[in-house]
Every structure is written in C-alpha cells, then in structure tokens.
Amino acid sequence: MTGTLDRRELLSRLATAALAASPLGRAAGALALPGPAPGRGSGPSRAVVAFARREGMVAAEGPAAGTVAVERLREALGAAVARAGDEATPVAALRRLFRPGDVVGIKLNCMGGRSLSPRPETVFALVRWLREAGVDPDRIIVWERTGRELRGAGFVLGSGPGVKVMGTDGDWEEKVREWGPSASRFSRLLVEDVTAVINLGVLKDHGLAGVSAGLKNWYGVVHNPNKLHAEGCAPYVPYLAASPLVNGKLRLTVVDAVTAQCHGGPGYAPSWAWPLEGFLATTDAVAADAVAWGLIEGRRREKGLRTLAAEGREPRFIAASERLGLGVADPRRIEVARV
C-alpha cells in the first residue's frame, strides 16, 4: 500500500495548502455559490439550465462514425458552462465559480465505458479553462470510483505532478458517516482533498432510478452504492446530495449529452443511445436532472417507448431533492437557456 500512502501524503499537502489559500466559507459567500442549506422550502424558486447543442459534433456515418469533432464539442461545452456561470466565456464563468486556491475535483461517471461516459476531450476542455481561470493544474483532480472505470472510458491515470486522474479505489474513510436513511464511508478524495467540485455526469436512462444525470452520480463517492437502489433510489439520492460533503462543495453540474441514452441504462445499450451532441450546465443540481428527465422522455416518445412513470421508474428522487432544498425540480420554474 505504499503507493496509496504516497498518494495520500501528496494530496494531504495539497488540501492543506488549498485551505490555507482559500477561506472556503468566505469564498462561498462572496461568490454567491449554489448550495443553500438543505431544508424543506429553503431552496431557490427558479433555476437556469444552459443547454448547448452543436449538430455535427458526432460523425454519423462513414469510417469515422461515432467520432467526435473536438472543436464542436468544446464550443458546445464552453457555451453551456459560460451561460451556467452567467458570463460571456467559460473561463470567466469558472473564474467566478472557483478560486485559485481551490482544489477542484471533477467527478466523472464512467460506468458506461467508452461509449457512454464523459469523453477525455470534455475533461481536457474543462481542465484547460480551469487553468486559464487561475486554478493551478496541481490543484485539479479528475476522479471516479475506480481507476478501472476511468481507464475503461479512455482516461490515462496519473497522480501528478499536474492534473491528477485517479479512482478512489480503496481510499475510503475509515469511519462510517450517517446520512439520511443510510450510512457510508466517503471517498477521502472528496472529504479531505477537493474543496470544490464539478459534477460531470452523463444523460442517460437508469433501469432502477429512472434517470442518471447529475444527482445519481454521487453514488460514486460512497463505498456502498449497492445498498442504495431500493425504491427507485428515491429515499437515498436526495439525502446523499444534501450531505454537506457534497452540497457544500458542489459548484457546477455538467451533464454530458454528446451521446445520451433513453432506455436500457445505466450500462451502454447501443440500440437506445443517440447522439444528442450537447451539454447541460447549471449551478442548480436538481434542475439539471429535471431537464435531463425531460430530454429522455422526449426521446422515449420518439422511439415509441412508454414513459418512465408508466414503467414504474419515474425518477422520484428529483422532486424529493427539491423538497430538501437542493434546487428546482418543477420544469415550470426552470429556464432552459439554449445557447
């Protein structure tokens, strides 16, 4: 376990330095960051979700079918992030959301393998803009539950210097934390290392929860996600997302919809995947999922599938998350800003 210890020491120093450089509580207040204290009725009344699509982002046919036009990907992602931060450029938006002293974690969802995970090009773009926004590459950690999943999605692991790409793997807290109806060990990367998070999920169907976009991605920060799938995940997702470890660090939710999937998820099911060629980005974690749900239902209608509710898979955790004050679930109070 020497490697783990080395990694921990490295990250500990990083976190210590970050804390010294960035008074988080004050920064959060000054930046008017998302994440109101959870509690019934304490959430925002309205939300904006940026939705950027660029046709032609994914090659539809020919020998290059399925490959991504990186410039179009960056263009869409940049437009979405900029709008989410209410700025003209993604760099300005990220500068508004993050401080140079932050240790920024980009939490991915890579269980769909290469075909249904955030692409490395997406992460590279975010990292580049973070750097331009003043975040030192040594203070950026791209992470997922396991290194195996990261590799499976096409990432190359690295523990620095520079940007780190790593799985939590065995690096869970020793103690168990109670949260809502359950208790878990949390990833030490989340607890001890990162001070601010970009949640980068994938827009897809989930056979038990209904939808997996942003909120469901938090299952990857606890050691026992297998214990959290009863009742469509509805009793669990909101409380996990409301955990101060999560809600207190989340600054931006980005939902990768370059390739989306309307059925058969969360694993990759090619017959139900489609190139949506876009991204959602928002500072309202609940609104992101509400919009993602709408997009999935739309595609399901096109494909002649029943609604998720008709299949008994309505993602009830979205409304439940609003009830905990985590954001806006009601589409009537969400502005989808097409950019």
Partner 1 sequence: MTGPGARAPDATRRDLLRALAAAGGAACAARLAGSATAIAEDVARPGEGVVAVEEGGLAPRPARWYRKLPEDWVQCGLCPHGCRISEGERGTCGVRENRKGSLFTLVHSRPCSVAVDPVEKKPLFHVLPGVPALSLATAGCNFACKACQNWEIAQARPEQVKSATLSPRGVAELARRHAAPLVACTYTEPTVWSEYVHDVAVAARSLGVRTVVVSNGSIQEEPLRDLAPLLAAYKVDLKGFREAFYRSHCEGELKPVLDTLRRLRRHGLWTEVVVLVIPTLNDSVEEIRDLSRFVRDELGPEVPVHFTRFHPAYRLTNLPSTPVATLERAHDVARGEGLRFVYLGNVPGHRAESTWCPGCGGLLVRRLGMALLENRLKKGACPDCGRAIPGVWS
Q: How far is the CB of 180 from partner 1 (least distance, A)?
A: 12
Residue 208 is a binding residue for partner 1 (CB under 8 A) = yes
Number of residues forming the site for partner 1 (CB under 8 A):
29
Q: Which is nearer to partner 1, 147 or 294 (CB)?
A: 147
Contact yes or no for 201/122 (Cβ under 8 A) = no
Rounded distance, CA 126 to CA 311, Å?
36
Residue 223 is a binding residue for partner 1 (CB under 8 A) = yes
Q: Which is nearer to partner 1, 160 or 207 (CB)?
A: 207
**Binding test (CB under 8 A) with partner 1, winner from 19, 178, 244, 303:** 178
**Binding test (CB under 8 A) with partner 1, winner from 39, 66, 113, 158:** 113
- Of 81, 191, 57, 203, the C-alpha closest to 130 is 81
What mask of x and - would describe binding to partner 1 in positions 231 to 270, judged by CB under 8 A? --------------------------------xxxxxxx-
Residue 159 is a binding residue for partner 1 (CB under 8 A) = no
Q: Which is nearer to partner 1, 129 or 172 (CB)?
A: 172
Residue 148 is a binding residue for partner 1 (CB under 8 A) = yes
Please name the residues in contact with 187: beta carbons below 8 A apart, sequence gap of 6 or more.
143, 145, 168, 171, 172, 173, 220, 221, 222, 223
Rounded distance, CA 312 to CA 293, Å?
14
Q: Which positions touch partner 1 (CB under 8 A)?
A: 111-113, 146-148, 169-170, 172, 176, 178, 182-183, 207-208, 223-224, 226-227, 229-230, 263-269, 272
